[in-house]
Amino acid sequence: MTAAIHDELGLPSSAGIATSRSMAKIGSGLAKPAGVLLVTDGSEAALLAPLPVRKLPGIGPVAEKKLERAGLTTLGQVAAMPLSDLRRIFGAWAEHVKEGARGLGSSDLSRDRLAFREHDVEGDSVGSISNERTFRADVGDSATIESQLCSLCERVCWRARRRGVKARTVTLKLRYSNFQTLTRSRTIAPTCSEMELYPVIKDLYLGARDRRRRVRLLGVGLSQLGLFDSQLPLFDDDRRRDATVDAIRDRFGYDAVRLAGGTGG
């Protein structure tokens, strides 16, 4: 796959081969900028042990600081910590973190192993496109929420480009842990670019968010959609980047590439 990407698009890429999605992702990161790392069954714990905790998918800056305060800086230390102690840090997510630090995990790539469930929502005809994520554990820190919003913007814009449409109205959906739901919308210049959409969605979020409450669900929607010519020349770097990313995803699947800012969990 890495050779095909290089031959077709001229881009360097890395790959990880393992028995689970998370280990393959870690392996790919260790193989950068242009290598392939095979993680054999049974070797996961030894490979992970010396790595910093942030290498584990789902451990963002906030979780990393919590672990550092507990004296945990490597995945080996996390794997060795009693589950009861980890629960004081992560609550219901502790078992998932401990399994990840030991290199254990499902090999069937089921979405049930993720920290959220994702829902693609289609409107009638070309009327609307939206994407929602319901978190398994309510989320309170803004950095994680903003990272998820960035990823949601990336997803809906990719879907819009595949349909050949641009949006004039964007909508943020925010549901708190008590199931109260807020929506905020804004009319913008027609776009199908996450680079243009995300600042608007982030601004809507910052204006609507009650920081005292934790978030259960996030959603980003596009409406007032209009057709555009997907064959127009690429006049700027953003459009060239979108075309390159879309070409990779069309050939290898959506998860073959994620943009910085939307990779966190």
| Arithmetic mean of pLDDT, 68-80 | 93
| Arithmetic mean of pLDDT, 173-180 | 92
Residues 179 and 97 occupy one common structural domain: no
* 238 within a domain of the structure (yes/no): yes
| Spatial strand order in the sheet of 128-139 | 116-122, 128-139, 215-227, 165-176, 181-191
**pLDDT for res 149:** 93
Residues 167 and 201 occupy one common structural domain: yes
Residues 134 and 197 occupy one common structural domain: yes
| Arithmetic mean of pLDDT, 56-84 | 88
Residues 214 and 138 occupy one common structural domain: yes
Residues 252 and 199 occupy one common structural domain: yes
Residues 242 and 131 occupy one common structural domain: yes
Residues 7 and 76 occupy one common structural domain: yes
Domain that holds residue 160: 115-256
* The pair of three-digit structure tokens given for residue 158, joined into one six-digit string: 């990719």
Task: Indicate whether 235 pLDDT > 50.
Answer: no
**DSSP state for residue 56 in the 8-state scheme:** S
| Arithmetic mean of pLDDT, 151-176 | 90
- Region for 257 from its dihedrals, namely left if φ exceeds 0, alpha if ψ lies in -120 to 50, beta otherwise: beta
* The pair of three-digit structure tokens given for residue 236, joined into one six-digit string: 């700027």
Residues 11 and 63 occupy one common structural domain: yes
* 212 within a domain of the structure (yes/no): yes
Q: Which of 72, 101, 130 is the last residue before a domain boundary?
A: 101
* 109 within a domain of the structure (yes/no): no
User: How many domains would you assign to the chain?
Assistant: 2
Residues 126 and 224 occupy one common structural domain: yes
| Arithmetic mean of pLDDT, 163-177 | 92
* 107 within a domain of the structure (yes/no): no
Residues 119 and 233 occupy one common structural domain: yes
Q: Which of 43, 72, 101 is the last residue before a domain boundary?
A: 101
176: CATH? 3.30.1490.100
* 108 within a domain of the structure (yes/no): no
Answer with the residue of higher pLDDT: 132 or 59: 132
Residues 63 and 124 occupy one common structural domain: no
In this prediction, residue 10 has a pLDDT band, given cuts at 50, 70 and 90, of: low
pTM over 0.75: no
* 84 within a domain of the structure (yes/no): yes
Percentage of the chain with pLDDT > 90?
Answer: 31
In this prediction, residue 190 has a pLDDT band, given cuts at 50, 70 and 90, of: very high
Residues 136 and 76 occupy one common structural domain: no
Percentage of the chain with pLDDT > 70?
Answer: 72
* 52 within a domain of the structure (yes/no): yes
| Arithmetic mean of pLDDT, 53-71 | 85
**pLDDT for res 56:** 86
| Per-residue pLDDT tens over the stretch 99-141 | 889 887 644 444 433 355 555 555 444 478 999 999 888 998 8
Q: Which of 53, 71, 101 is the last residue before a domain boundary?
A: 101
Closest CA to 213 of 185, 184, 180, 183: 180
* Dist. CA 111–CA 102, nearest whole Å: 20
Please name the residue ranges forming H helices in the chain.
2-9, 21-30, 44-48, 61-69, 75-80, 83-90, 94-101, 142-163, 194-208, 237-252
* 263 within a domain of the structure (yes/no): no
93: CATH? 1.10.150.20
The per-residue pLDDT of the chain, averaged, comes to 79
Please give, one letter per residue, the 3-state secondary structure of 207-234.
Answer: HHCCCCCCEEEEEEEEEEEEECCCCCCC
